[in-house]
């Protein structure tokens, strides 16, 4: 019997993945306060790397200190960050062959906040917060201090920060880079007319609002090895009238496709607290479905994908080339094992766990 499509090999540029299950970047807010990974990340990433998924993308890593969402965010802007990340990666890679990518981003006006379990509110300057940056001096919420509108020099510095982080990612041997232009963070802020009220070359028209994302993609693509994928995560819609929407997302995707983007990961929302959406199974998959009709690059779908049959249906029907799971993987770090068992496929497992294979599922661990 043919293997379920979810468990067939899949290529992103020259990177071959054993299956079409991607572990999404998931913020842990557990760095050391200076942006460097800790033992928590070794434990967290280690268990996910034993899951049998096709690709693991580590959490959004800030390209500048001011780009962290919280003081506990991981960064890749200093030698100390790079050295700590190298230690974590060495431990994970010693026991797992899973390809590992990194998501690079900057929180913009959504920076300088508490960890979610502490309330998630913006930190005051007196409590260890910092001045945030954004395309315009429009705060995320009315009760927050306004961000500083970025000058052209600030924009040039941001591009240099992305390039420097990409070079560090190359030295660390990452298999892939995903640029974070979703969830209301800085690159998304430049895209949306709700947060970008500039009147220069980076604001106003759709072409101008897309300019920074395209420039950063080109700059990162130039310094990261040509045979390794550079892709992007976007929010397909702000779900707010007058904001970023699917048609603008298509225009951005087509512009990126023409520039050799390796994949697009279609999420949604996060830019404006007024967003109105109905959350349910596969609720963001329509973004991916549309992208599949509009671009040649591979498309990854997200959005409450929790069941094996659901994931198989998405890739089998051609709505997306792969699916990405986040919270579902935290809840069940062996989700790919269980999906393979249910769909009649095989999956990689470490030799130390081979004896866990149920007697009724011979061949599960291929």
Q: Which residues are catalytic?
A: 185
Residue 252 near residue 225, CB atoms below 8 Å: no
How far, CA to CA in Å, does 301 sit from each of 132, 277, 307, 337?
Answer: 31, 17, 14, 20
How many C-beta atoms lie closer than 10 Å to residue 355's C-beta? 7
Backbone phi and psi for residue 230, each to the nearest 5 degrees, phi listed first: -125, 115
Residue 115 near residue 187, CB atoms below 8 Å: no
Q: How far apart are the first and last CA of the chain?
A: 15
- Say how far apart CA 178 and CA 23 lie, in whole Å: 12
How far, CA to CA in Å, does 360 sit from each of 15, 147, 337, 342, 349?
Answer: 33, 58, 14, 12, 17
What 138-145 contacts at long range (C-beta under 8 Å, 24+ apart), as own/partner pairs, is: 138/109, 138/194, 138/195, 138/197, 139/109, 140/109, 140/110, 140/184, 140/272, 140/273, 141/273, 144/109
Alpha-carbon torsion 45, 49, 51, 54, what sign? positive
């Amino acid at each position: 019997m043919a293997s379920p499509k979810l468990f067939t090999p899949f290529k992103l540029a020259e990177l071959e993945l054993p299956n079409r299950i991607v572990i999404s970047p998931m913020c842990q807010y557990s760095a050391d306060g200076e942006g460097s990974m800790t033992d928590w990340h070794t434990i967290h990433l280690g268990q996910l790397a034993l899951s049998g998924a096709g690709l693991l993308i580590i959490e959004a890593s800030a390209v500048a200190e001011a780009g962290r969402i919280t003081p506990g965010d991981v960064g890749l802007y200093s030698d100390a960050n790079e050295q700590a990340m190298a230690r974590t990666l060495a431990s994970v890679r010693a026991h797992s062959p899973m390809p590992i990518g990194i998501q690079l981003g900057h929180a913009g006006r959504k920076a300088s906040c508490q960890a979610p379990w502490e309330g998630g509110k913006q930190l005051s300057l007196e409590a260890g917060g910092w001045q945030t940056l954004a395309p315009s001096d429009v705060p995320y919420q009315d009760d927050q201090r306004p961000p500083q509108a970025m000058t052209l020099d600030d924009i040039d510095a941001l591009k240099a920060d992305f390039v420097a982080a990409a070079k560090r990612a190359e030295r660390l041997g990452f298999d892939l880079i995903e640029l974070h232009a979703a969830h209301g963070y800085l690159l998304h802020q430049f895209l949306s007319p709700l947060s970008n009220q500039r009147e220069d070359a980076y604001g106003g028209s759709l072409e101008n609002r897309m300019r920074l994302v395209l420039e950063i993609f080109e700059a990162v693509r130039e310094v990261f090895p040509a045979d390794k994928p550079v892709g992007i995560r976007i929010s397909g819609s702000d779900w707010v009238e007058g904001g970023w929407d699917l048609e603008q997302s298509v225009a951005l995707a087509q512009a990126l496709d023409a520039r050799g983007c390796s994949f697009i990961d279609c999420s949604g929302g996060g830019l404006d607290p007024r967003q109105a959406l109905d959350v349910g199974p596969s609720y963001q998959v329509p973004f991916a479905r549309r992208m599949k009709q509009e671009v040649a690059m591979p498309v990854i779908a997200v959005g409450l994908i929790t069941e094996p049959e659901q994931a198989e249906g998405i890739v089998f029907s051609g709505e997306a080339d792969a699916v990405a799971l986040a919270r579902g993987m935290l809840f069940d770090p062996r989700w790919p094992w269980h999906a393979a068992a249910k769909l009649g496929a095989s999956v990689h497992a470490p030799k130390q766990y081979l004896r866990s294979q149920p007697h009724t599922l011979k061949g599960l661990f291929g």
